[in-house]
Amino acid sequence: MDIPCFSILYFISICMFALEVCKSVDVLSSSETIRDGDTLVSAGEKFQLGFFSPGNSSYRFLAIWYHNIPEKTTVWVANGDNPVNDSSGVLRIGSEGKLVLVDQAERVLWSSNNMNATSQSVVAKLLDSGNLVLKDDSENVSGNYLWQSFDHPSNTLLVGMKLGWDLRMGLDRHMTSWKSAEDPSTGDFTFGVDLGGIIPQLVIRKGRVKYFRSGPWNGIQFGRMPMVPNLIFIPKFVNNSQEVYFTFNHFNESTITRLVLNASGNHQRYLWSEKTQEWTMIYMLPYDACDVYGKCGSNSMCTISNSPICSCMIGYQPKSQAEWDTLVWSSGCVSKNPFNCSKGEGFKRLKGVKMPDLLQFTMNTSMSLKECELECFKNCSCRAYANIDATGGGSGCLLWFGDLLDVRILSRSANQDLYIRVSASDLDSVNSKGKEWVAVAISMAFVVLSVVLYFCIVWKRKKHAQGITFDLQAEDENNLHLPIFDMVTILRATNNFCDSNKLGEGGFGPVYKAWKLWLKRKVPDFIDPQLQNSFDLSEVVKCIQVGLLCVQRHPDDRPNMSSVLLMLDSESASLPQPKQPGFYIERSSENTDVEMSRRDGNSNKITMTLLEGR
């Protein structure tokens, strides 16, 4: 039977449509376009690219956002400064192998800035990292991109993105804030790695003016930003001859976190909560008033726990006391005494501070800290010095000249110390104050100790007045918890050494009722009624049993000290039954018959016990 031609054409059309549907939606080829309403979705369905309008805006922007997060969260915008006025925007790969965004009038609103390439083999692909890449599809080399969005961040830094410099290409990857939450055009703030002072720092700028500074990289961390892995992300800083950048990775794959530079210039880290289905801000920089660049002016320190927060460094005074009295500190501080390299000048060590900004400085990577001090001392213009690198105990020399700016006390311990130049008179003042503080500290310690001793004595007297006390401190070298009985306890237990409690008397003193009660299995009767609920009975029995083993008649039957310690310390040790104690004396009811048991002496030594009738 003949098959009509239209049926064959229909079948071919269906197959082609199926192939089109099955084709990966994360790739844009040179023959395809993305119009408003179309999207690319990464292979793992983590990110999506398309057109969107922020807030109540009617403008359309080409952007990338999280695919599976209900709250649309944009992470990259292409045409922030040139929006599409309507829904006519089209993204395609142009004839020169570049991504091009045009409007209805074919006006180019945005394009990738890569080198020209043959457009037929160039494709654009959205990766699961959120990176939009342009690559030559004929080359099977991973990571060899003609262009990538990760090299051109907007206001968001994702996992794996690099914030900093590719020195080979002169590429500066920095974040740029939006103008507002509804306007993704270029805002007032940028955040990136500053190489102006050779030693890298992380800096937020408002225009060209510094707004926040992390402090210089010291080989371990930025002064204000510890590079410590945590349960959310793992920070990393790379500093070599080819690249200088900050990045971070997931602690685990299930964590979704991002960095944002908001319209107010705040650097914020967010964490997505699957439970609450919302973003939670973990931290923000600037964190407090002392984080604002140069808050207290030059030659001063900012301490957020103090009131007021600003104070002049040692040897300096406010440039305008009237301004400082009104809590306006921007004028900073000036030196009380001129530095002239005179005899007696020295340096004051400041611990736990953010290093001053690198405005006027020199550095030497081979000097020791002592050599650095001598170098600074020789130059009267040198105001401070420190190690460059904090790794391995510190190395290198960093010298500051002129004013010291943006120094703050860090809430977390820093791993670098700053040494500031101090005049002879100020150094004497520092030393005398140090001695005064030592004297005050000693006096306070004496007062506190006296008060503690007083209350201890009062407490002990109250306890003695109430009854028997026990001291269960460990006194032996193996730190075993052996009971120690004070004199009051012994007096009460023996009824002031009354004869009615006396069993006998030997070379080491009287032996009391323990043995008789042990034989009658009435050990609980030996315990004072006031203490019945104070101890575990089994522990008391063990202590009495060990004690009786130690006073057995024959020395060979007695355990040595190591065995005693083992018995007392072990819960599972099997204890032998004690034999009759040495010098055990028992009187008959008529007090006439006396039975005497004498401890056998070792070798020729004999212990004699004198008995007196009553």
Residue 604 belongs to some domain of the structure: no
- pLDDT value at residue 487: 57
Residue 470 belongs to some domain of the structure: no
pLDDT band at 392 (very low <50, low <70, confident <90, very high): confident
Lowest mean per-residue pLDDT among 15-29, 88-102, 578-592: 578-592
- b/e string for 212-230 if b means 16 or more Cβ within 10 A? bbbbbbbbbbbbbbeeeee
Q: What one-letter code names the amino acid at 477?
A: E
Residues 47 and 161 in one domain: no
The total domain count for the chain is 5
DSSP-derived 3-state class of residue 207: coil
Residues 454 and 518 in one domain: no
- pLDDT value at residue 229: 82
Residue 602 belongs to some domain of the structure: no
Residue 603 belongs to some domain of the structure: no
Distance CA 501, CA 511 (A): 9
Average pLDDT over residues 393-402: 93
Q: For residue 179, what are the CA distances in angstroms to 80, 185, 187, 264?
A: 10, 6, 4, 9
Residues 356 and 439 in one domain: no
Residues 298 and 395 in one domain: yes
- pLDDT value at residue 607: 41
Residues 445 and 488 in one domain: no
Residues 46 and 138 in one domain: yes
- The last residue of one of the domains, among 287, 319, 350, is 287
Highest mean pLDDT range out of 258-262, 446-450, 534-538? 258-262
Given a cut of 70, is residue 323 above it in pLDDT? yes
- pLDDT value at residue 610: 41
- pLDDT value at residue 20: 43
Residue 16 belongs to some domain of the structure: no
Given a cut of 50, is residue 106 above it in pLDDT? yes
- pLDDT value at residue 560: 73
Residue 10 belongs to some domain of the structure: no
Lowest mean per-residue pLDDT among 18-27, 250-259, 338-347, 406-415: 18-27
Phi, psi of 169 (to 5 degrees): -105, -10
Residue 469 belongs to some domain of the structure: no
- pLDDT value at residue 1: 46
Distance CA 377, CA 347 (A): 9
Residues 253 and 131 in one domain: no
Given a cut of 60, is residue 149 above it in pLDDT? yes
Average pLDDT over residues 244-268: 95
Residues 417 and 430 in one domain: no
Residues 51 and 119 in one domain: yes
Q: The domain containing residue 236 runs over which residues?
A: 153-287
Given a cut of 60, is residue 13 above it in pLDDT? no
CA angle 67, 68, 69 (to 5 degrees): 100
Residue 468 belongs to some domain of the structure: no
Residues 374 and 448 in one domain: no
Average pLDDT over residues 105-116: 90
Given a cut of 60, is residue 406 above it in pLDDT? yes
Given a cut of 90, is residue 557 above it in pLDDT? no
CATH of the domain at 220: 2.90.10
Average pLDDT over residues 416-438: 72
Residues 129 and 190 in one domain: no
- pLDDT value at residue 138: 77
Highest mean pLDDT range out of 15-29, 392-406, 452-466? 392-406
pLDDT band at 18 (very low <50, low <70, confident <90, very high): very low
Identify which has the larger pLDDT, 142 or 243.
Answer: 243
Token pair belonging to 438:
């030592």
Residues 418 and 310 in one domain: yes
Average pLDDT over residues 101-114: 93
The share of the chain scoring above pLDDT 90, in percent, equals: 52
